[in-house]
Amino acid sequence: MYTIMPYTHVDTHALETLYRSVGWVCYLRRPNLLEEAFAHSLKVLAAYEDEQLIGIIRAVGDGVSILYIQDLLVHPDHQRKGIGTRLLNEMLRAFPDVNQTVLITDDADETIIFYEAAGFRKVQQVGCCSFIRLHECYQ
């Protein structure tokens, strides 16, 4: 059984373990990046099994006109159990009147299916395009 709660205390080791488990290592290449990113987030929710961090969702933005889902990850041992869906739904419930919620994600079938099931659409479907400028660690 797992619980979801606000993530208020940054445990760098637990975060690094979780990010490493899903292969998101760019965050780990710059010292203090995770701590600073989490400190400046609009809202962060975490999923725990007992006391182990097994999932996290992090949002940035102003929470009124825009909500940007920056990170949503669940440890591979705990995927496909509804944890990601619950994290996403609880984050969206915290900002019910925001004008737009956006995210960038992998172009993989299972990821597309997940976000479309949650009501997200590809930007091309709403007459938009997107642009990105990446730090060198992503290239």
Residue 138's pLDDT is 55
SS3 of residue 129 by DSSP = coil
The pLDDT, as a whole number, for residue 137 is 66
**Where do we find the tokens 């007992």?**
50
- Express each pLDDT in 28-50 by its tens digit: 887 788 889 999 999 999 999 99
CA 47 vs CA 41, 75, 79, 124: distances in Å: 17, 10, 12, 32
pLDDT, one tens digit per residue, over 39-97 is 999 999 999 999 999 999 999 999 999 999 999 999 999 999 999 999 999 999 999 99
How does DSSP assign 6-32, residue by residue?
E--S--HHHHHHHHHHTT--GGGGSTT
